[in-house]
Structure 1
Amino acid sequence: MPEPTARRSFWAVARQPRVVGLLVLFLLAAAVCARLGVWQLDRAQQRAELAAQQEAAELEAAGPEGV
């Protein structure tokens, strides 16, 4: 009959180098994803401003008869 394994506490497991390394890796991945999200939002805002400028230029170029 196999002997029961001793249960280790949460903190004993959490302080293992492998678990700490995984935590650091996941935190780094989360930071990269957050930064890419901010970059996407900034890029979308720039594209919206550019589209508004182009639309204003097209309306100005069309003149009163184009409206």
Structure 2
Amino acid sequence: MSNPNIEVCPVCGVKIENGDKVIFSVGNPGTRARLYARVCNYVQKSGCINQEQESLGVISANDYYRPI
């Protein structure tokens, strides 16, 4: 049975629940802003469902990967 509140990106396969809760393949859930900061910003492929600035929210410094 499919859940109409889940979007799946055809580019990276990530699941977005209820418009903002991002289910990564590994680790804790995040936001569209975190997904954009870590993946979508760099991939820039046609079909990505996370490119609209108004749906991202505020991207904070914690959304990016931290240097080791």
TM bin, normalised by shorter chain, reads under 0.3
TM-score (structure 1 length as normaliser): 0.19
TM-score (structure 2 length as normaliser): 0.19
Higher helix share: 1
Higher strand share: 2
The one of the two structures with greater contact order (alpha-carbon pairs below 8 A, sep at least 6) is 2
